[in-house]
């Protein structure tokens, strides 16, 4: 049998994988934690409370604390990182949305790159959102986020509605991740994102309870006719972290029941 054209799957893990997960206490983060724990991986959860690492990712001190504690717990070596921690559009004050969803996520990713470099078949996944493509962004806030100016971005976000801040922060995060494909690829670490639509989580429940946001969320057309479970998003994240999919890098996987395709059929 001719096997000359068959690609080889290389760099499969030979030890128990260590995965760090932000936002591990609820929603998607909790589902991801359960998935990897069932697979036998060692999970280092990061959240505001009830996690091996307790840290507030809305500010530089909390992010530094998370990095320091994870470094100690993992022995300066990670095989995977999942950035799930995030705040919904109903959050007040609105500047917290930008602080956690963009700066908190990106600082954790950048800070833990050195730990991932030491891992086996290392990869990271960030939870973005289909709101990145469906919500018109605030141009000034988007630029401030991408410039890395947290103080000015926070001041700008304070005067903008939560839905716009949420969508803009997720768009900025998506762009920032894709811009890192070159650097991370050279370091031997894969970096991808998932872009969920509405998912049955406490975050979504908070949005649905909001008198302004609730009807907007309900009005979003979903071709599959239902919301996702957190476990379904965890499954997509598991795919992206799997060493067998080692050529997937710099990608954004929409897990939104077809909403983005329905509303933007000709956009790639």
Tell me how far apart the terminal alpha carbons of the chain are, to the nearest angstrom: 39
Cis omega (within 30 of 0) on the bond before 93? yes
Which secondary-structure segment (H or E) carries 82? Answer: strand 80-83
Reduced to 3 DSSP states, what percent helix, strand and coil does the chain have, rounded to the nearest 5?
A: 50, 15, 40
Q: Are 230 and 28 in contact (CB under 8 A)?
A: yes
Q: Are 258 and 224 in contact (CB under 8 A)?
A: yes
Q: How far is CA 158 from CA 95, 165, 174, 208, in A?
A: 5, 9, 22, 22
Q: Are 163 and 100 in contact (CB under 8 A)?
A: no
- The three-class DSSP label of residue 60 is helix
Q: Catalytic site residue 247?
A: no
Catalytic residue, from 103, 166, 184, 254: name it. 166
Residue where the block lists tokens 């990106």: 106
Q: Are 125 and 26 in contact (CB under 8 A)?
A: no
What are the structure tokens assigned to 165, written together? 């801040």
Which secondary-structure segment (H or E) carries 2? Answer: none
Whose CA is closest to 86, among 138, 115, 48? 48
Residues belonging to the active site: 166
């Amino acid at each position: 049998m001719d096997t000359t054209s068959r690609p080889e799957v290389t760099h499969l893990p030979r030890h128990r994988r260590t995965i760090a997960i932000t936002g591990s206490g609820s929603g998607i983060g909790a589902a991801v934690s359960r998935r990897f724990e069932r697979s036998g991986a060692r999970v280092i959860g990061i959240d505001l409370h009830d996690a091996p690492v307790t840290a507030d990712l809305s500010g530089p001190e909390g992010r530094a604390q998370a990095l320091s504690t994870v470094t100690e717990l993992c022995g300066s070596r990670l095989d995977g990182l999942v950035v799930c921690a995030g705040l919904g559009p109903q959050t007040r004050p609105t500047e917290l949305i930008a602080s956690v969803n963009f700066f908190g996520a990106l600082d954790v990713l950048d800070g833990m790159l050195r730990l991932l470099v030491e891992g086996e078949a290392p990869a990271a996944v960030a939870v973005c959102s289909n709101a990145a493509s469906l919500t018109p962004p605030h141009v000034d806030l988007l630029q401030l986020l991408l410039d890395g100016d947290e103080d000015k971005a926070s001041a700008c976000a304070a005067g903008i509605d939560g839905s716009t801040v949420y969508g803009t922060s997720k768009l900025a995060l998506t762009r920032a991740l894709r811009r890192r494909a070159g650097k991370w690829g050279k370091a031997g670490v894969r970096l991808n994102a998932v872009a969920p639509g509405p998912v049955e989580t406490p975050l979504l429940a908070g949005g649905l309870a909001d008198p302004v946001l609730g009807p907007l969320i309900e009005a979003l057309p979903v071709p599959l006719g239902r919301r996702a479970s957190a476990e379904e998003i965890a499954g997509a994240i598991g795919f992206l972290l799997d060493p067998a999919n080692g050529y997937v890098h710099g990608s954004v996987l929409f897990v939104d029941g077809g909403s983005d395709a329905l509303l933007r059929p000709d956009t790639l």
